[in-house]
Structure 1
């Protein structure tokens, strides 16, 4: 109840100001209101902060001023102290939990919005990462999702160009999934299956006997932060960029799965004995989105439609994604955004992912142009499947911008979709999901 009150007061006070602005002129003090909105959410930490980060990357889900402010929210939260950790670990593994480890670090190695990670060592001598969820996160998530409805309601009143109803449903479903560490353990097994033939991309192993629905113990993947290499040679940055591209696109194109939260903190560079980066560690599997094979087919069809200017194939792809009732003007608006997302993949040359665009402005110009058309010709309902696909593509692009990688993305993507068929995706996905203990999407 306390969290409901805190979130409601923070968001509600901004809502009241927005209503006043709307009454006396929508353009007044919009930047100030956006800043207040970001501060109200950022002070809370927890799930709503994660939601705020997410919706800041979805074009036109919120006005540009609000998206820019929310993009500043950080994923790191202050860690909880040792007394908290001791109580939480006892709740998950029993009063004798410390005897189940040879050692367990009192200080957190990392802390985020839903939990924190401690380094430990098993009696067999293996270094492990113990991801421990904060208490009462389920009730906190439900409280925050109620307030998310208010956030979207505010936006609909201000600007009804886009129907956010399915965006809210998708965010709610994925955020609830992220609380289930048993599900995340299965996601890790799934990624292990998908990437088993690629030695340069490393996936951890789960220690089931030291895991619960709110505690996930997995092998510790030694590596260095990606940003450590932003001033290294172009060869090194391209090597990491290529592994990152493959770690994201190969699972999607061949198995229908995406890592829905691609940011720098979820990857590290795998090092060799000489201290040189040779691959990539994938560190977090809470936000994995699995699609039906037909959706993957729509993504590939849209690519070929844009590449060959095949309007019928483009429209068919949008309809496969779930867009309905598209006029010529709305299709043109969607094409602006699609050509931005697919742009590097359509360009057969070595290039950066975005030329001359800082990470914080990545996609903003295109989003503004799309919004202007939707405002005149909309509204348009964004289908659920689009939400995390789009968010993840933006996140991946931002990481590649930070790395300043320059590659032939056209060749990399065409390698990923070589001999593509929906039937093969269905076959591979079904087999990998079965081995990982996950039910296929319907």
Structure 2
């Protein structure tokens, strides 16, 4: 991966994005489809932190203009792979003589993403393994890319987001991207999760192979499965099993272990032949302090009670919002959108009416951004939870969220 030309191209994409935002802010109509196509083509080739940021944005389906969200979502499905000769360079750096470790390595990747791509290989013992290979030179251009991402994020000032808050959001994003470059840490996280959930027969977590892994290559035993994004065509029983397993796992992660798998990219999940949830990627696992969980549940309880003053108090307690005058009418509308998902009985996540109401709320959220500010230190957490929610939507999940959340709300009320 070469630094030459990246800065110029990223600046060009940033300028085009800024132009679209400015046109919208001045009352015009931006061509979001055209912008999305340009971002897909440019970021798919450049890869790295900027592409990762676009993937994150694409998971916020309810906040982006539909045409832009649709184009950016392609980055999750069909990122262009890096040519084999460059990937082979990275493998040689890790292993030296490849033939002494593997009898065969498939040159065509079966998955490619923003920070690396995945190749199957066969050991001399005849075992099929998976090699997750970080793009060569990515660490060298990371800081340069992050500078350009920070410049693009400054566009948030047009929506009256304070610079200090933008800086805090950037630092959380940057820290997460730096952590994802260390594949040794990901191998450790994968081993920890395997041990933690070894008794849960609904989950499958591949085994990391430490002897074949390093900082830039992660080796694991191959586990086949149907990607989550392709499960729309399978039978309803399988989809509901996967959805329930996903929801239960996220809840246990948060409220039992105080951690969260923070990369809900649909390509990181699959269903095996037995209908079990396969979890492939552990490059982003974040701690979630108990105090943060309790404040989130207090905000949810205020939302379900449709109490705008209590919602504002909870948001302030989390470190969000600013300025004078709470946007109470916006709180009321938000509560009306969210509350149906937590009504008693089974709720259908594929109900398009809920998503339509969220989309209709989006312009009002942006208009109130001078007062309604998200907590600066919850970027990865909110992104992860939002992404997991949309995975449940893709699965057409039917879950009793009322029964699931009542014990958690009661737990949050207990004094520390």
* Unaligned runs of at least 5 residues, structure 2: none
Aligned to 1:289: 286
Moved more, 205-214 or 45-54: 45-54
Q: What TM-score results when the alignment is normalised by the length of structure 2? A: 0.84
Aligned to 1:250: 252
Q: Is it true that 1:5 corresponds to 2:4 in the alignment?
A: no
Distance 1:125 1:315, change over 3 A: farther
Aligned pairs, how many? Answer: 407
Aligned to 1:215: 217
Aligned to 1:53: 55
Aligned to 2:344: 348
* Distance (whole Å) between structure 2 residues aligned to residue 302 and residue 208 of structure 1: 42
Distance 1:79 1:231, change over 3 A: closer
Distance 1:323 1:15, change over 3 A: closer
Distance 1:250 1:320, change over 3 A: farther
Q: What secondary structure does 1:152 align onto?
A: helix
Aligned to 1:31: 31
Q: What secondary structure does 2:160 align onto?
A: coil
* Distance (whole Å) between structure 2 residues aligned to residue 184 and residue 422 of structure 1: 35
* Deviation sequence 1:3-43 (CA, Å, 0-9, x none): 11221233235546766x48xx81234235x7336514642
Distance 1:91 1:113, change over 3 A: same
* Distance (whole Å) between structure 2 residues aligned to residue 197 and residue 320 of structure 1: 37
Aligned to 1:383: 375
Q: What TM-score results when the alignment is normalised by the length of structure 1? A: 0.80
Distance 1:43 1:175, change over 3 A: same
Q: Is it true that 1:401 corresponds to 2:402 in the alignment?
A: no
1:183 to 166, 182, 185: 185
Q: Is it true that 1:369 corresponds to 2:354 in the alignment?
A: no
Moved more, 75-84 or 244-253: 75-84
Q: Is it true that 1:206 corresponds to 2:208 in the alignment?
A: yes
Q: What secondary structure does 1:131 align onto?
A: strand
Q: Is the 8 A contact 2:261 2:285 kept in 1?
A: yes
* Distance (whole Å) between structure 1 residues aligned to residue 257 and residue 234 of structure 2: 33
Q: What secondary structure does 1:230 align onto?
A: helix
* Distance (whole Å) between structure 2 residues aligned to residue 363 and residue 175 of structure 1: 29
Q: Is the 8 A contact 1:224 1:268 kept in 2?
A: yes
**Which of the pair has the greater relative contact order for Cα pairs under 8 Å at 6+ separation?**
1
Shift of 1:251: 0.5
Shift of 1:341: 5.5
Aligned to 1:169: 171
Q: Is the 8 A contact 1:229 1:403 kept in 2?
A: yes
